[in-house]
Amino acid sequence: MESTKRRNQGTTSTAWESRPSVTESSIITRLFEGHLSYYIMCLECQTTTYKNEIFTVLSLPIPYETECSLEDCLECFFQQDMLTWNNQITCSCCGTKQDAAVKASIAKAPKIVIFHLKRFDCQGSYKKKLKTDIYYPLNNLDLSPYIYPLFRKNPKYSLFAVVNHFGDLDGGHYTAFCKHTVSQSWYNFDDSQISEIPESALQTPAAYLLFYSNQSFSVPVKN
């Protein structure tokens, strides 16, 4: 009963909604730029605020060391988190630093979303690369659970490229898988070597960046 009363006494700030983007329009922003909305609630007075953040890449934590799915990584990224101790917020209503709950959602989903899998763990002198086998769907990746309900337009995405990293934190080698627009075949790009690969070869613990699109690519037309 007390918690309900306190929640009703809280205030809400939505100043972020009217703040225009200062990013210049370009083909990069039109294809890759998205907006994250952070819901922040003071745990003392229940005052809520919303903050908007522009992104072109989403860096996803890897919750398990052996294997997991891309959806597991997304759930970990978008789950509610607690801001305490040195991470407390300064509440505009309380006038002091307070513990807070924060939860992110996608306010504007980009046409192409890039997922960065956080395989490198560095804490002081401790360095480690996570070789977790992450299952990622080739088609129909549904982002609607993470998109603000008012903006759930074209929430399903298909994979069209993967960047792989082989090695450790001190050095390594990058390769890429890319899907051909016309033939729909997949190819492996390894320096000057290009070879066609089956879809079964796309799942690899070396995957580092995943590129998804919610629109099919059109065949280039010569003028």
pLDDT of the chain along its 223 residues, tens only?
333 333 333 444 433 333 344 446 899 999 999 999 999 999 999 999 999 999 999 999 999 989 999 999 999 999 999 999 999 999 999 999 999 999 999 999 999 999 999 999 877 777 889 999 999 999 999 999 999 887 788 889 999 999 999 998 888 999 999 999 889 999 999 999 999 999 999 999 999 999 999 987 766 666 6
> Domains in the chain and their CATH numbers?
2-213 (3.90.70.10)
What element of type H or E holds 78? helix 70-78
pTM to 2 decimals?
0.85
Q: Give the integer Cα–Cα distance in Å for 85 and 80.
A: 17
Backbone angles phi, psi at 85, to 5 degrees: 50, -120
